[in-house]
Chain A
Amino acid sequence: MISFTDLKKISDYEWEIPVSYRADMRVPVRIFASESLLKDVARDKSLEQAVNVCSLPGLVDSVKVMPDMHQGYGFPIGGVAATRFPEGVISPGGIGYDINCGVRLLSSRITYQEGKKYLDELATTLNKFCPSGVGTGGHHHFSPREVEDVCRKGSRWAREKGFATEQDLRRTEDGGQLPGADPRFLSPRALKRGRNQVGSLGAGNHFIEIDLVSKVFDEKAARAMGLNEGDLALQIHCGSRGLGHQVCSDYVKSLQSAVAKYGIELPDRELVCAPMDSPEGEAYLAAMACAANYAFANRQVLSHYAREAFESVLAGRVKDWHLHLVYDVAHNIGKIETHQIDGKSMEVCVHRKGATRAFGPGREELPAEYKTIGQPVLVPGSMGTSSWVLRGTSEAMARSFGSSCHGAGRVMSRSQAKKTIRGEDLLKQLKRDGIKVQVSSMSGLAEEAPAAYKDVDAVVETVTSAGIAAKVAQLKPLVVIKG
């Protein structure tokens, strides 16, 4: 177990586990955390898991860990690791089972004063239009060929079907279409599981939320993002559903033998990996891109239904009921990106497992409207607490492979949450706080209680104080739809 004394303090918000800590470490771990958040994470196995990641071949610089970190399986949640492309490895477990789980934010010109009397109606209509819950599929049933099309094209598929605008695509990471997607590398089971889940939220911590833009910290950036204090906004958090889970399961299994083939020694079998220029690595990259695109399409179609819900409730009642995409970010993904490593420009595969890309100003991947301010970074809170809109910084490019935190991060196990919190009591508490909740499962609600998570404001304070993101706006929840 790693203790506080094993850590080297770099600054008040940055800590290091040096390579000398364990013989199999190829690079150090850099942790972005305040002292009090760090004491929280020392209680579980997340730091040990970060040290395990340091054994992967081809790593550059250091393995980064964000302040919302917590114990996962293989990689810790909140972990960021970059491997040299193409000879370094890619690890499916370092991306996770919910490939391209992510979040998007849509802005509106609906003021709280205008919209507040329709919130109940919006809650029930959103719940009706956007399918959610355990085992619940979407409104569409696709042939395997159509699923392949979704996997190849992602949000571009949604655009062709009338579910997206050009602006939506521009404001999604990679235009909502990760290159290199090849459905030939998907198993029949993955394709089958994808047949009916485009436009479905799923369950667990996934949600749709109507928020109030409660405070703006950076007027210029907020204006560029279309966020005005006192207006309503909408967040959607979900991923690639069963298709993505199947892709990860398939490749964690098939890559078990690749590890021996390429002479890679690992401290944990969940970290299985293969060089990106090997047939096994190339196959996973192609399949992972398919799942990532499926997730982009999923969030895009859900946005379409949310827009229809807003139109059906608000058309003719408020001046402007339209929802505009601010940005869509992935927080479980592997991306080939160019970064400056030791003063040299280098292509690397950045694994983000529960971490968000946070590119600073000037990056060519950003749309024109965000090029001078930096990428919008979306940090959803736990249910009932604030969410945050941040922006990427040059510091993030230099110190965290252009990455930042992705949420609050759990501190309490689900069984403990269910023991200490009753869903019905939580629902009453949220109602008293003025938050309307539509939920499929009461025990599921208790598992996702705010008390089971860290304080998102403290997490955001850490990344902004460390300089790897800057505050733009704070959001307060008004309506929560949970699967």
Chain B
Amino acid sequence: MKNKLAGFEELSHTADLEIRAWGEDLSSLFSAAADGMIHLSGIEDYEEGFSAVTESISLDAMDYEGLLILFLEELLYRLTEDYMLFSIDSLSVSSEFSLKGKLKGTQIRSYQRDIKAVTYHRLNIRETEQGYEVNIVFDI
């Protein structure tokens, strides 16, 4: 997974959960971070085929870190409140800290873990030789 242009890995944290996500650009970084969060939620049971629901998403923030939190919180809210799992059809992150995209959703039956929140703890999107990376701590 580490060799891929975008991906995530779970890191060790005493009480909460932490991932490192990376991508060749900000859009793929955001997608990888979303994949990581969904992985931590432990969703095993969902309707096949992400075509039942298509939604547009449009978010604005003061910086990229704030935008990443807004994006992940949006997906988390829809997951825990509406039992909707979204896959990212298209996503673009602009230099003005705004995000636009299309999501395809499917209904889930259950998830294994309550993620309480996406935290700002040491949240810092870093530029690397391959693109971008970020560490994210989730409160559970």
Contacting A at CB under 8 A, from B78-92, are 80-81, 83
Find out whether the CB atom of A413 lies under 8 angstroms from the CB atom of B80: no
Find out whether the CB atom of A412 lies under 8 angstroms from the CB atom of B14: yes
Task: Report which of B62, B69, B116 forms a contact with A98, defined as CB distance below 8 A.
Answer: B116
Contact A192 to B139, CB < 8 A, known contacts A73-B121, A204-B114, A415-B10 = no
Contact A444 to B120, CB < 8 A, known contacts A242-B80, A410-B15 = no
Shortest beta-carbon distance from B1 to chain A in Å: 15
Contact A96 to B139, CB < 8 A, known contacts A192-B81, A245-B117 = yes
Chain A, Cβ-Cβ closest to B139: A97
Instruction: Check if A397 is an interface residue, CB within 8 A of chain B.
Output: no
Find out whether the CB atom of A253 lies under 8 angstroms from the CB atom of B117: no
CA distance A248 to B115 in the complex (A): 13
Find out whether the CB atom of B112 lies under 8 angstroms from the CB atom of A441: yes
Contact A73 to B139, CB < 8 A, known contacts A203-B114, A268-B122, A444-B113 = yes
Task: Report which of B62, B77, B114, B116 forms a contact with A256, defined as CB distance below 8 A.
Answer: B62
Find out whether the CB atom of B80 lies under 8 angstroms from the CB atom of A77: no
Find out whether the CB atom of A413 lies under 8 angstroms from the CB atom of B114: no
Contact A272 to B14, CB < 8 A, known contacts A135-B114, A189-B77, A202-B114 = no
Find out whether the CB atom of B65 lies under 8 angstroms from the CB atom of A257: no
Which residues of B are found within 8 Å of A256, using beta-carbon distances?
A: 62, 66, 120
Instruction: Check if B35 is an interface residue, CB within 8 A of chain A.
Output: no
Which of B15, B17, B111 gathers the greatest number of chain A CB atoms within 10 Å? B15
Shortest beta-carbon distance from A417 to chain B in Å: 11
Find out whether the CB atom of B113 lies under 8 angstroms from the CB atom of A72: no
Which of A73, A98, A135, A189 gathers the greatest number of chain B CB atoms within 10 Å? A73
Find out whether the CB atom of B65 lies under 8 angstroms from the CB atom of A269: yes
Which residues of A are found within 8 Å of B130, using beta-carbon distances?
A: none
Shortest beta-carbon distance from A181 to chain B in Å: 21
Task: Report which of A134, A203, A269 forms a contact with B120, defined as CB distance below 8 A.
Answer: A269
Task: Report which of B14, B77, B111 forms a contact with A44, defined as CB distance below 8 A.
Answer: B14
Which residues of A are found within 8 Å of B80, using beta-carbon distances?
A: 135, 242
Instruction: Check if B12 is an interface residue, CB within 8 A of chain A.
Output: yes
Which residues of A are found within 8 Å of B118, using beta-carbon distances?
A: 249
Find out whether the CB atom of B116 lies under 8 angstroms from the CB atom of A72: no
Task: Report which of B66, B114, B137 forms a contact with A73, defined as CB distance below 8 A.
Answer: B137
Contacting B at CB under 8 A, from A180-222, are 189, 192-193, 202-204
Task: Report which of B12, B15, B69 forms a contact with A72, defined as CB distance below 8 A.
Answer: B15
Shortest beta-carbon distance from A337 to chain B in Å: 26
CA distance A93 to B10 in the complex (A): 23
Number of interface residues of B (CB under 8 A): 34
Which of B70, B116, B118, B120 gathers the greatest number of chain A CB atoms within 10 Å? B116
Chain A, Cβ-Cβ closest to B10: A415
Task: Report which of B69, B73, B121 forms a contact with A74, defined as CB distance below 8 A.
Answer: B121
- Mark contacts of A254-295 with chain B using CB atoms, 8 A cut-off: 1 yes-contact digit, 0 otherwise: 001100000000001110100000000000000000000000
- Mark contacts of B44-86 with chain A using CB atoms, 8 A cut-off: 1 yes-contact digit, 0 otherwise: 0000000000000000001001100110010001001101000
Instruction: Check if B126 is an interface residue, CB within 8 A of chain A.
Output: no
CA distance A269 to B14 in the complex (A): 20
Instruction: Check if B94 is an interface residue, CB within 8 A of chain A.
Output: no
Shortest beta-carbon distance from A341 to chain B in Å: 29
Which residues of B are found within 8 Å of A202, using beta-carbon distances?
A: 114
Instruction: Check if A111 is an interface residue, CB within 8 A of chain B.
Output: no
Find out whether the CB atom of A73 lies under 8 angstroms from the CB atom of B14: no
Shortest beta-carbon distance from B14 to chain A in Å: 4
Find out whether the CB atom of A253 lies under 8 angstroms from the CB atom of B119: no
Which of A74, A410, A414 gathers the greatest number of chain B CB atoms within 10 Å? A414
Which residues of B are found within 8 Å of A193, using beta-carbon distances?
A: 81
CA distance A448 to B17 in the complex (A): 14
Instruction: Check if A465 is an interface residue, CB within 8 A of chain B.
Output: no
Instruction: Check if A70 is an interface residue, CB within 8 A of chain B.
Output: yes
Which residues of B are found within 8 Å of A203, using beta-carbon distances?
A: 113-114
CA distance A253 to B117 in the complex (A): 11
Contact A204 to B112, CB < 8 A, known contacts A70-B14, A71-B14, A73-B16 = no
Shortest beta-carbon distance from A242 to chain B in Å: 7
CA distance A291 to B33 in the complex (A): 29
Instruction: Check if B2 is an interface residue, CB within 8 A of chain A.
Output: no
Instruction: Check if B125 is an interface residue, CB within 8 A of chain A.
Output: no
Shortest beta-carbon distance from B122 to chain A in Å: 6
Shortest beta-carbon distance from B121 to chain A in Å: 4
Chain A, Cβ-Cβ closest to B42: A443
Task: Report which of B13, B73, B111, B121 forms a contact with A413, defined as CB distance below 8 A.
Answer: B13
Find out whether the CB atom of B14 lies under 8 angstroms from the CB atom of A270: no
Which residues of A are found within 8 Å of B111, using beta-carbon distances?
A: 134-135
CA distance A324 to B10 in the complex (A): 44
Shortest beta-carbon distance from B46 to chain A in Å: 14
Task: Report which of A72, A257, A410, A415 forms a contact with B62, defined as CB distance below 8 A.
Answer: A257
Which residues of B are found within 8 Å of A46, using beta-carbon distances?
A: 14
Q: List 8 A-B contacts (CB under 8 A).
A: A72-B15, A96-B139, A249-B73, A256-B66, A268-B120, A269-B123, A270-B120, A415-B17
Listed from nearest, the 6 A-B pairs whose CB atoms lie closest are A73-B121, A269-B120, A270-B121, A73-B119, A97-B116, A97-B117
- 4 new A-B pairs (CB below 8 Å) besides A73-B137, A93-B121? A98-B116, A204-B140, A268-B121, A415-B17
B residues neighboring A (CB under 8 Å): 10, 12-17, 42, 62, 65-66, 69-70, 73, 77, 80-81, 83, 110-114, 116-123, 137, 139-140
